[in-house]
Amino acid sequence: MKSADIRENFLRYFQSNGHTIVRASSLLTSSDDPTLLFVNSGMVQFKDVFTGREKRPYTRATTAQKSLRAGGKHNDLENVGYTARHHTFFEMLGNFSFGDYFKRDAIRFAWQLLTEVYGLPKEKLWATVYVDDDEAYDLWTNEIGVPAERCVRIGDKPGQPKYVSDNFWQMADTGPCGPCSEIFYDHGSDVEGGPPGSPDAEGDRYIEVWNLVFMQFDRDVAGVLTPLPRPCVDTGMGLERLAAVLQHVHSNYDIDLFQNLIKAAARETQTVALDSNSLKVIADHIRACSFLIADGVIPGNEGRGYVLRRIIRRALRHGYQLGQTKPFFHQLVKDVVAEMGAAYPELMEQQSRIESVLKQEEERFGETLENGMKILDAALGQMKSGDAPMLDGETVFLLYDTYGFPVDLTGDICRERGVAIDHAGFGDAMERQRGQARAAARFKTGGSYEYAGDKTRFTGYSSLVEDAKVVALYQAGTSVQRLDQGVEGIVVLNTTPFYSESGGQVGDEGVLEAINDGHVVRFNVADTQKIQADVFGHHGTL
């Protein structure tokens, strides 16, 4: 069964059981939710419904939610490409009950879908419940018929307070919480690993495919649990994991969706060996980048923009490792659209913009990637056999500041060669540079930054031509009302497509044109530099 069919069958099954199909929310969490950088599960868009702050016209919902784990504490980036089931972007299939049905129906729906719709053998499925959840245990063993030896009670983690368990879920330190029941698939005795709850549970034989969360209690600041008047259900099943089970493969990267993207990455990098970890990284990262840009994120040096930049540059480095030194990553967007555009129409709608943003970022980083790799290779090559395998912080900082290498990208390369990086030394170098920047907060021309206007709106990832308004002029380091012809100066605009030097990338050159008394006035931009944080100065001559 293809991944697209698995997704469609899931949604249609729950629709036939009274659920409203709700379109996936944006990957970007709302501005009033400081707890997450990106949506990382299906329940995020329903948080206010679960807590009672929002009402919806339905009490049963189902979604295929695009999700991302590549920033903050929910960060799988460094594992992507090296394990069977870690991804930056993934799809979470889920069904939800807002005070409607509870454990009996949630368990029945899950069992019926897995065994009757998807056709999984019943004897291959295991269930876990929280140690005190007798209700769920009885439902699994007595009503569903799972043998007692395949229904495992999971207790609290050793040395932890009560309810700190893999089978007890909580939204936060206080608020809705409750036990959960996980469903596992047994790949068979030829795969290493023990059943859930055993010392060997981390092996690959028994794979969790579905988590059913029963929001049953409200926890107060004292840790006291009070039964909720209208218990809710929140379930989550990773599409990629389920596809691996249904397609009889052990790695998510072997499912049809990923195999098609891996072949596309091999096509663009001219790689023959399809089992390359670098191809897996590229295939994973093109999905994450495409969806992030479609949802409005552009590469930058802060927050979400920096997460996107890190993912792009990690993919480009793996392309470089495969021998591809020319822009290639943006060519894979059409393959993502072919695989997922029907389910997520925003990909088709934004395809050209996604390609443009990625191509520009590729071209900018391509200018420094090769030189940065030479610096890094030389530093690693100079290490003596008796040395502690650690790259010094000064080199890590040089790569970051001059060549635009995110620290985790340098760490990625070093880890492949068995070398650690000196994070403390990097931090010292970073702080020293900040101090120098504060002390030298001056124009290249020697003047002080005297600007109190608004930040510059950067549009260079979507357009190379822009109408703008002049908001400040500087000549010889001093704010002026006009520039003299033939004299160097700085122009600040309210909006600009010019990229400002940052992260090892050079500032853009170009032309500013205006009409004055019927004549065309031309300002030739030789460089673009920030005169303040988020204020772009166009250096040039009138």
Least confident among 206-210, 295-299, 382-386: 382-386
pLDDT computed for residue 447 by the predictor:
46
Q: Do 410 and 473 reside in the same domain of the chain?
A: no
CB atoms within 10 A of CB 166: 18
**Burial tier of 339 (Cβ tally within 10 Å: 0-12, 13-18, 19+):** buried
Q: What angle do CA 326, 332, 334 make, to 5 degrees?
A: 135
Q: Report pLDDT digits (tens) over 416-437.
A: 888 999 999 999 988 887 776 5
Q: Do 19 and 100 reside in the same domain of the chain?
A: yes
Note whether residue 116 is domain-resident.
yes
pLDDT computed for residue 37 by the predictor:
85
Q: Do 18 and 97 reside in the same domain of the chain?
A: yes
CB atoms within 10 A of CB 29: 19
Query: Quick one: average pLDDT of 369-373?
Result: 87
Note whether residue 157 is domain-resident.
yes
Note whether residue 452 is domain-resident.
no
More confident residue, 84 or 7: 7
Q: Do 242 and 264 reside in the same domain of the chain?
A: no
User: How many domains, in total, are found in the chain?
Assistant: 4
Q: How many percent of the chain have pLDDT more than 70?
A: 94
Q: Report pLDDT digits (tens) over 438-450.
A: 554 444 434 455 7
Note whether residue 339 is domain-resident.
yes
Q: Do 388 and 370 reside in the same domain of the chain?
A: no
Q: How far apart are the first and last CA of the chain?
A: 64
Query: Quick one: average pLDDT of 57-82?
Result: 82
d(CA 135, CA 16): 26
Q: 435: Cβ–Cβ under 8 A, 6 or more apart, which residues?
A: none
Q: Report pLDDT digits (tens) over 94-153.
A: 999 999 999 999 999 999 999 999 999 999 999 999 999 999 999 999 999 999 999 999
Given a cut of 80, is residue 198 above it in pLDDT?
yes
Q: 18: Cβ–Cβ under 8 A, 6 or more apart, which residues?
A: 60
Given a cut of 90, is residue 492 above it in pLDDT?
yes
pLDDT computed for residue 338 by the predictor:
97
Q: Do 217 and 283 reside in the same domain of the chain?
A: no
Query: Quick one: average pLDDT of 498-506?
Result: 75
Note whether residue 535 is domain-resident.
yes
Q: Report pLDDT digits (tens) over 512-539.
A: 988 777 777 888 888 888 888 788 999 9
pLDDT computed for residue 446 by the predictor:
41
Closest CA relative to residue 513, chosen from 498, 499, 527, 523: 523
Query: Quick one: average pLDDT of 45-57?
Result: 89
pLDDT band at 75 (very low <50, low <70, confident <90, very high): low
Note whether residue 450 is domain-resident.
no
Sign of the C-alpha dihedral, residues 250, 252, 253, 259? positive
The strand pair at 478-480 and 519-532 is best described as: unpaired
d(CA 312, CA 290): 10
d(CA 321, CA 328): 13
Closest CA relative to residue 329, chosen from 262, 269, 270, 369: 269
pLDDT band at 167 (very low <50, low <70, confident <90, very high): very high
Range of the domain at 141: 3-249
Q: Do 302 and 165 reside in the same domain of the chain?
A: no
Q: Do 320 and 420 reside in the same domain of the chain?
A: no
Closest CA relative to residue 472, chosen from 450, 457, 488: 450
Q: Do 196 and 313 reside in the same domain of the chain?
A: no
Q: Do 77 and 56 reside in the same domain of the chain?
A: yes
User: Of 419, 445, 471, which residue sits at a domain end?
Assistant: 445
User: Of 445, 471, 499, which residue sits at a domain end?
Assistant: 445
Query: Quick one: average pLDDT of 199-212?
Result: 93
Give the CA-trace dihedral at 157, 158, 162, 164, to 10 degrees.
-30
Bridge partner list, 233: 97, 214
Note whether residue 132 is domain-resident.
yes
Domain with residue 493: its CATH number is 2.40.30
Q: Do 90 and 233 reside in the same domain of the chain?
A: yes
pLDDT computed for residue 153 by the predictor:
97
Given a cut of 60, is residue 39 above it in pLDDT?
yes
Highest mean pLDDT among 255-269, 290-304, 479-493: 255-269
d(CA 61, CA 47): 13
User: Of 342, 359, 378, which residue sits at a domain end?
Assistant: 378
Query: Quick one: average pLDDT of 39-54?
Result: 88
Q: In whole numbers, what is the pLDDT of the chain averaged over residues?
A: 89
Domain with residue 145: its CATH number is 3.30.930.10
**What does the H/E/C string look like for 299-310?**
CCCCHHHHHHHH
Note whether residue 451 is domain-resident.
no
**What does the H/E/C string look like for 368-432?**
HHHHHHHHHHHHHHCCCCCCCCEECHHHHHHHHHHHCCCHHHHHHHHHHCCCEECHHHHHHHHHH
CB atoms within 10 A of CB 142: 10
Max Cα-Cα span within the chain: 89
Q: Do 245 and 302 reside in the same domain of the chain?
A: no
Q: Report pLDDT digits (tens) over 85-94.
A: 889 999 999 9
